[in-house]
Amino acid sequence: MYKLLPFKSRKEDVVLKTHQLKMLKMDHAQPLTLIHISDLHLGFHYSYDDLIYHINLINGLQADIIVISGDLFDNIDYYPNAERLIPLLKTLNAKLGVFFSYGNHDQRIHQTARISRILAASEIQLLVNTGVTVNYDGEPLFIGGLDDIINAGGNIHQTLKNRTHEMFTLMIVHEPDYADFVSRFDIDLQLSGHSHGGQIRIPLFGAPVKPALGRKYVKGLYNVGDMKLHVSPGLGTTHLPVRLFCPPEITVLEIR
């Protein structure tokens, strides 16, 4: 008989998963190492100790880029000491930077000003309908981030205004099902979260409960037209502090 175990006591069950992606616009001797995490939902059965444990694992992987695709906090209104996380978040280490775009929990509570201050103090680059160009091995890479789709709409045209089509383009979009729209814009890779992989999965059936804009693309890698999509199962939980057949995950994407 299976039991639903509280996530807060199972941080060691995190899965480290690696995918190797061959992308036409990446022609380098060494692969770009990108770590994708999402949906920590800090404050909802995801503790300071959980964050320490996962950051230690992430930093040990020596990534070129770290992407957090939304929902850093479950509801920052109920996290009065959130600013104490800044020194810890600041230890996240990637050669080309750490990047974040808002999720629906970040936007729905109207506390984005406070979240943005925490991210800035933590040296995590917030991308809200904007993008940046980074240099990898002499080649420009474009990293864009849309605002949360459900509560803020997002604006892909504004995000891409300084992008040229020759660049390898990575887009951070919290809600994965928006990939059907994003794939029309010559994007190489979309990184999303939101679905938590279903959080509770039933063998041979899958996830019985999936959120809006997280129902078509739920977990793992997909081809959406010519674009690759990776959907992170997330590190935290929401609504119920349980996972079943869907462990938290830190994903390494080796892009070559």
- CATH number at 240 reads 3.60.21.10
- CA atoms of 248 and 124, how far apart (whole Å): 22
Average pLDDT over residues 94-117: 92
Residue 6 resides in a domain: no
> Confidence band (pLDDT; 50, 70, 90) for 26?
confident
What pLDDT, on the 0 to 100 scale, is given for residue 4?
A: 41
DSSP tag of 80: T
What pLDDT, on the 0 to 100 scale, is given for residue 97?
A: 98
In the chain, what percentage of residues exceed pLDDT 90? Answer: 83
Range of the structural domain that residue 39 is part of: 17-255
What pLDDT, on the 0 to 100 scale, is given for residue 109?
A: 64
Name the residue among 124, 143, 102 with its Cα closest to residue 255: 143
- CA atoms of 109 and 28, how far apart (whole Å): 42
> Confidence band (pLDDT; 50, 70, 90) for 29?
confident
Residue 106 resides in a domain: yes
What are 43-94's pLDDT values in tens digits? 888 989 999 999 999 999 999 999 999 999 999 988 889 999 999 999 999 9
Residue 236 resides in a domain: yes
Name the token pair of 135: 């240099």
Name the residue among 81, 74, 69, 86 with its Cα closest to residue 46: 74
Average pLDDT over residues 200-208: 93
Domains in the chain, number: 1
Residue 9 resides in a domain: no
* Ramachandran class of 209: left when φ > 0, alpha when ψ lies in -120 to 50, beta otherwise: beta
Residue 7 resides in a domain: no
- CA atoms of 143 and 160, how far apart (whole Å): 9
Which residues face 227 on adjacent strands?
Answer: 224
What are 115-167's pLDDT values in tens digits? 999 999 999 999 999 999 999 988 999 999 999 999 999 999 999 999 999 99
Residue 238 resides in a domain: yes
What are 227-245's pLDDT values in tens digits? 999 999 999 999 989 999 9
Given a cut of 80, whether residue 10 has pLDDT beyond it is no
How many C-alpha atoms does 124 have within 13 Å on its Cβ side? 27
Residue 8 resides in a domain: no
Residue 80 resides in a domain: yes
